[in-house]
Amino acid sequence: METDRKTWYTCHILFSVALILAAIYIIIDSLKMSIPLMERGQATILDIPGLTPIICSLLLIILSLVVIVSAWRSGGTLKHLVSPDVRKALGGREAIVVYKVFTLLLLYVYLLLPFLPYWASTFLFMVVFMLSFRVFSWKTILISFLVAILIKVIFGDLFGILLPK
């Protein structure tokens, strides 16, 4: 049992490092998208389309660091990194959930957002997300549609924040 816990704490460290790297990429990509708008005077720091992803990414980095410190204190170490237990855990059910979420997010960012309006890609992402985790119903479709439209109306129309196109 103790080895199993240390294995999971090591996996927590690995996944947290992956989240930190993804968050850094998102921050850089958001800045690439937003800085030209600020230079042209089309946006300020408060209404750039990359502000929300930057804030969320900074929070993700902070929380991932908290997880790393907590996992390290609980016995997770990098010396367990190449153990058979870690390899087994990385193929386990919980790890597959993490892979699924990462894959869906990548599909959303690179397949849906570039080709569809923000509200449509968000709606499709939420429906596919719920379908992939087997919590799909007519309520899911309705909630996904309402969330996508409300994000567009509240942020895009009401607050005038530029949403990704």
44 pLDDT higher than 80: yes
pLDDT given at position 60: 92
| Average pLDDT in the chain | 84
Query: Residues of the chain with pLDDT > 70: what percent?
Result: 94
59 pLDDT higher than 50: yes
Distances (CA, A) of 110 to 76, 86, 103, 114, 125: 33, 30, 10, 6, 12
> Against a cut of 0.75, is the pTM above it?
no
Residue extents of the structural domains in the chain? 1-90, 91-165
pLDDT given at position 24: 94
Distances (CA, A) of 151 to 83, 85, 96, 128: 45, 43, 29, 18
39 pLDDT higher than 60: yes
Interatomic CA distance for residues 93 and 149, integer angstroms: 33
Tens of pLDDT, residue by residue over 9-29, are: 888 888 899 889 989 998 999
- 78 close to 13: Cβ distance less than 8 angstroms: yes
Tens of pLDDT, residue by residue over 74-133, are: 877 776 666 677 777 777 787 888 888 889 988 888 888 888 888 888 899 999 988 888
User: Residue range 32-61: average pLDDT?
Assistant: 87
pLDDT given at position 80: 61
pLDDT given at position 145: 92
CB atoms < 10 A from the CB of 157, how many? 10
Place of tokens 């855990």: 89
